[in-house]
Amino acid sequence: MPWLALLPALLAAAALTRGADELVVAALAVPALLWLPGRGLARRLSRDPLERAVLAFWISAILAVPAVLVGMWTGLGGAGTLATAATLTAVSERLAVPRAQRLPWSARIGALAVLVTVAGVGIAWRGDMARPLDAYWWFPAAESAWDDGADTIPPSPGAGWSERRPIGWKEAEALRLVPRAADPYLLGPSQGPVVLALQAPVGASMRVGDEEIVVQANVEESEDEGPVARYLGKGVAALSLRRKLGPGERLPLRLSNPTQSVVYLLGGKDAVWALHGEGMLRFVHYYQLLNMVEQVHWARELYGDRRVTDVQPPLPSYVLAAPLATTNGELPTANIVFLLQLTMVGIAGVAAVRAWAPNAPWIASLLPAAAVAEHGKLLLEPASAMLPDTLYTLGVLGAVTALARGGGAYTGYALLAQLSRYPGGFVAAVAGVLAGAPRRVARMLVVVVSAACAFAAVGHYAGSLDGWVSTVWWETFPEHWHGEGDPAVLLRAPPGSTASG
């Protein structure tokens, strides 16, 4: 019955008001926002079940733009966005046409394999799915503090701790310490180096002797690079301690926010990887942290004073902004969005196999599931799941499938790929040339260039065009070519090679 399509939105609202876990709310809210609003219209536009599924996502992704704007303009935030999505779902369901083509068994097997694989990825990496941003860290001394091979005798926790949990394969390799008061202390004997890491809200501090560390949202590791975004509301700061304590000697700690702080004591490199393996503090490079936080940050800005994300094509930020506002969440919500996108990529892959090789043996329909498994592992494990690459891949797959089927869908999918990642239209054009469809490529390029010109006109009117152009240039060349921006060098040899200097 059509009204059942509104059930996930109602359940998501109820789960949020009852304070349910972010992952649970996201599992309900994401399909309610990014699949159900377009389902009815997708069923009217196509009779192919595979294409219907992918179209429902794309239509919902486009409808996420007005849903976010309504939530922002009304001041209702996620509640307004969810209500708008539910309204659009009700309207869309009124347009639905229930009849659909019957899929061959090979395509059914392929689609089922994709669903099972995505479910398996979510279960296998459930710890990574649920992990928030403040459970990731990077600290230079964690890579260099113990390189000299010096013996380390870590201090012991004294009074003032409500929890003292050893982590690791050897006893007390790492300690997770929860303070009971603002002035807990450690006890000697000890001999450095050891690392103390503070996990707390941004702005919280810990003083150890003459040294003080502060949890920062933007951390400067190098003067040449300046501050690099790393965290949102909570994060991690660390220091390397080389002090020697005698037996029974106290080392006091001063915590500015003890009720929301956790202190980790690391006595060697094995401790770093013990915490990593337990999933308590995943050790990743600070540019990896930048990749994770910036997607969430840009999406959140759309409910503030920003209308269009000027650091990447706009669509991915809207796709993420709608569920983020609904769940009041961050990385776990983004990971659920990624799983939905991963499902759509797999189904689009099965559709591409069916379109280009309808007589291939049934085992060929399993290839998209295998690709989805690898893609999911590679992105979830380093936790860069919400990079726009998955959305862009879905657009390119749609364009490739449309080339085999004919019709005007090729241009639409190529435009969606372009709105998701800067190379989208170019890659779709290459596919069209290889498929022997130069006229369709020409028509598509006219549409993509026209859209870019319209976007530029809006940017010029808003006074943002210079910043947008600079960003496009940076993300297209220097960022991905070791800082090189000279086209002559890029054409002559790969940056960093002997030929390029």
Which residue carries 């509640």 as its tokens?
Answer: 79
Cα–Cα dist 425/449, whole Å: 9
Mapping DSSP to helix (H, G, I), strand (E, B) and coil, where does residue 57 land? helix
C-alpha span between 117 and 343 (Å, rounded): 9
Least confident of 40-54, 88-102, 444-458, 478-492: 478-492
Mean pLDDT in residue range 231-257: 90
C-beta atoms surrounding 209 within 10 Å: 12
| Spatial CA neighbour of 86 closest among 322, 316, 321 | 322
Predicted confidence at residue 309, as pLDDT, reads 65
Kind plus residue range of the DSSP H or E element containing 349: helix 331-356
Give this prediction's pTM: 0.89
Structure tokens at 292: 């994770």
> Residue 148: its pLDDT value, please?
65
Helices 389-405, 409-420: inter-axial angle, 10-degree rounding: 170
Place 54 in a pLDDT band, splitting at 50, 70 and 90. very high
Burial (CB count within 10 angstroms: exposed 0-12, middle 13-18, buried 19+), residue 102: exposed
Q: So what's the pLDDT on residue 490? A: 61
Q: What are residue 350's phi and psi, to 5 degrees?
A: -65, -40
- Please report the DSSP string for 430-454 in residue order: HHHHHTT-HHHHHHHHHHHHHHHHH
Is residue 483 over pLDDT 80? no
d(CA 485, CA 374): 32
Span 175-192, mean pLDDT? 88
What are 47's strand-pairing partners? none
Residues 69-122 have pLDDT tens digits of 888 888 888 888 888 988 888 888 888 777 777 889 999 999 999 999 999 999
pLDDT given for residue 496 in this prediction: 54
pLDDT of residue 237: 94
The answer to whether 209 and 246 have CB atoms below 8 angstroms apart is: no
pLDDT value, residue 191: 83
Q: Which helix (H) or strand (E) holds 94?
A: helix 78-94
The string of pLDDT tens digits covering residues 308-334 is: 666 677 888 889 999 999 998 899 999
**Given this model, what pLDDT does residue 501 score?**
39
CA dihedral 37, 40, 44, 48 (to 10 degrees): 90
pLDDT band at residue 2 using 50, 70 and 90 as cut-offs: low
Quote the pLDDT of residue 482.
63
Tell me, what DSSP letter sits at residue 5?
G
User: Is the distance from CB of 248 to CB of 187 less than 8 angstroms?
Assistant: yes
Non-local CB neighbours of 133 within 8 Å, separated by 6+ positions? 231, 232, 234, 235, 289, 292, 293, 296, 330, 331
Q: What percent of the chain has pLDDT over 90?
A: 39
Radius of gyration of the chain (CA): 26
pLDDT over 90 (residue 236): yes
Residue 91, pLDDT score: 87
Name, in order, each residue with C-beta under 8 angstroms of 492's C-beta and a sequence gap of 6 or more: 499, 500
- Model confidence at 14, pLDDT cuts 50, 70, 90, reads confident
Kindly give, in sequence order, each residue whose CB lies less than 8 Å from that of residue 140, ignoring residues fewer than 6 positions away. Answer: 221
Across the chain, mean pLDDT equals 86
Residue bearing tokens 């280009």: 356
**Tokens found for residue 25:** 């709310």
The contacts of residue 36 (CB under 8 Å, 6+ apart) are 5, 6, 8, 9, 56, 60, 85, 89, 92
pLDDT of residue 263: 95
Q: Dihedral (C-alpha) 434, 436, 438, 440: value to the nearest 10 degrees?
A: -100
At 368, is the secondary structure helix, strand, or coil? helix
